[in-house]
Amino acid sequence: MRFAVGWSKLVKVDSVVLRFGGEIGIKSEWTRRTYERLLLRNIKKVLEYYSISIDRIVHKRGRIYVKAKHAHEAAAKLTQVFGVSSVSPAVETTSDMNEIVERACELADETLKNGGSFAVRCHRVGEHPYSSMDVCKEAGTQILTRLKKRGLKVDLRNPQVTVGVEVRDEHAYIFTESLQGTGGFPLGSQPRVVCLLSGGIDSAVACWLVMKRGCSISPVYFDITPFTNRAATAKALDIAKRLFEWSIGFPRRVLLVPHGKNLETFVKKSPRKLTCVLCKRMMYRIAERLAEMEKAEGIVTGESIGQHASQTLHNLRVLNQAVAKYPVHRPLLGFNKLEIVELAKKIGTFNISTRTAEGCSAVPRSPATKARLQLVMKAEQELDISEMIQESVRETKTVTVGT
């Protein structure tokens, strides 16, 4: 029995080839080395977390080679390491031409369908008695010769299967599949940020996007009970758990802020149309205090232009005025809903975010879409905002998710 294209199961695949994101390669030499060492650390943490035993890890410029018995499992997990552009389960052999051709023919025999097309591509680093083109020609010729009864043909433009060969000094790696990685920067290469995490779709995607740029996150969830139910909190924690699967080796803590009392105060004592703006400004102020405690460098939100009443450009400016020490970052500012949903599906948070949970019952019928800063500040002057912030921070709980 032969497997379909891309399965590559019968040949003993014993290694994983990891390629770095292109952005890492264009950094200065010092920065590049720093990022590659951090990426290596994160890869080791992922393999350790999933109990994937390895024989060795070899770090070369622009590549990491993992020798592992369960190479397919390792490859699948490592696609979720930020900074990795692609991975290939591979067969390791020596750089001897005969060994390379032998393994290439075996792998082709496993993956090519009768009458199928293929191409051989070679990437070579080091001193060898042959060129990359020599490898492609010899391997391609031998595949056609040895498997001539299969009716195979070479197609250099659009092959059904590409037999890849990487020759690195005295070793070579042969593969027929490449899994797309996440790219970006290694997690931890940029400072920590606090992220306002709700149970919705947008904030989770915003968290993931800054993680992709190298920032570790401290999610902050504002519990607005009794204006919602416990299902909303459970959903937010499950989203955080899924996000933490993208940050193996980093803290898995969520900051739970009791915000229901604050919201109740706004509903009872302030103009109803300003409820959402006042609520969000308070969230920003509390997040600013938590950012200081977390030694973070910014506040991240899932807001995009026009998604909700509080997210008009005018209202966003009013929200920004509430904080002074930390910038507010909005990775989704120019995204539309469909784009956000597609990313949520990719990162695995969409199904969690769309679970049934009670929405905020404090939202007014006609929320202000163009709140006047003067009126907002006047409403806040009627309240003890400082004490509300201090009490919220004091009562904030730290929850460890998904250890």
Residue type, 335: F
What pLDDT sits at residue 2? Answer: 31
Confidence of residue 385 (pLDDT cuts 50, 70, 90): very high
- Is 242 found in the same domain as 117? no
Q: What is the pLDDT of residues 11-57, one digit of tens each?
A: 789 999 999 988 898 889 999 999 999 999 999 999 999 999 999 99
Which CATH number characterizes residue 201's domain? 3.40.50.620
Q: How far apart are CA 372 and CA 363, in angstroms?
A: 18
Q: How far apart are CA 160 and CA 156, in angstroms?
A: 10
Closest CA to 212 of 194, 191, 192, 186: 186
Confidence of residue 357 (pLDDT cuts 50, 70, 90): confident
Task: Please say which residue of 150, 180, 210 terminates a domain.
Answer: 180
What pLDDT sits at residue 6? Answer: 38
- Is 360 found in the same domain as 229? yes
Structurally, the chain folds into a number of domains equal to: 2
- Is 74 found in the same domain as 51? yes
Q: What is the model's pTM?
A: 0.91
Does the pLDDT of residue 1 top 60, yes or no? Answer: no
- Is 147 found in the same domain as 268? no
- Is 161 found in the same domain as 221? no
Report yes or no on 198 lying in a domain. yes
Task: Please say which residue of 180, 198, 224 terminates a domain.
Answer: 180
Longest Cα pair distance anywhere in the chain, in angstroms? 87
- Is 357 found in the same domain as 230? yes
* Beta-carbon contacts of residue 225 (< 8 Å; ≥ 6 apart): 233, 258, 260
Q: How far apart are CA 241 and CA 400, in angstroms?
A: 9
**How much of the chain is helix, strand and coil, in % rounded to 5?**
40, 20, 35
- Is 202 found in the same domain as 172? no
Does the pLDDT of residue 9 top 50, yes or no? Answer: no
Give 2's DSSP letter.
-
Q: Do 138 and 97 contact (CB within 8 A), yes or no?
A: yes
3-class state of residue 255 by DSSP:
strand
Does the pLDDT of residue 394 top 70, yes or no? Answer: yes
Report yes or no on 253 lying in a domain. yes
Confidence of residue 10 (pLDDT cuts 50, 70, 90): low
- Is 299 found in the same domain as 329? yes
- Is 236 found in the same domain as 150? no
Report yes or no on 164 lying in a domain. yes
What pLDDT sits at residue 7? Answer: 36
Does the pLDDT of residue 167 top 50, yes or no? Answer: yes
Task: Determine the structural domain holding residue 147 and report its residue range.
Answer: 15-180
More confident residue, 22 or 352: 352
Which CATH number characterizes residue 34's domain? 3.30.2130.30
Report yes or no on 120 lying in a domain. yes
Q: What is the pLDDT of residues 239-286, one digit of tens each?
A: 999 999 999 999 999 999 999 999 999 999 999 999 999 999 999 999
Report yes or no on 241 lying in a domain. yes
Helices (H), 223-372: 230-244, 260-269, 275-294, 313-320, 337-347, 350-353
Q: What is the pLDDT of residues 98-153, one digit of tens each?
A: 999 999 999 999 999 999 999 999 999 999 999 999 999 999 999 999 999 999 99
What pLDDT sits at residue 311? Answer: 82
Confidence of residue 4 (pLDDT cuts 50, 70, 90): very low
Does the pLDDT of residue 164 top 60, yes or no? Answer: yes
User: What are the distances in angstroms from CA 295 to CA 117, 289, 356?
Assistant: 55, 10, 35
Residue type, 364: P
Q: How far apart are CA 218 and CA 328, in angstroms?
A: 14
- Is 345 found in the same domain as 226? yes
Closest CA to 153 of 118, 112, 105, 114: 118
Report yes or no on 243 lying in a domain. yes
Task: Please say which residue of 121, 156, 180 terminates a domain.
Answer: 180
Is 45 exposed, middle or buried (CB count within 10 Å of its CB: 0-12, 13-18, 19+)?
middle
- Is 219 found in the same domain as 139? no
- Is 328 found in the same domain as 282? yes
What pLDDT sits at residue 300? Answer: 98
Q: What is the mean pLDDT of the chain?
A: 93
Q: What is the mean pLDDT of residues 196-200?
A: 93
Report yes or no on 299 lying in a domain. yes
Cβ of 76: how many Cβ atoms within 10 Å? 16
Confidence of residue 402 (pLDDT cuts 50, 70, 90): confident
Report yes or no on 185 lying in a domain. no
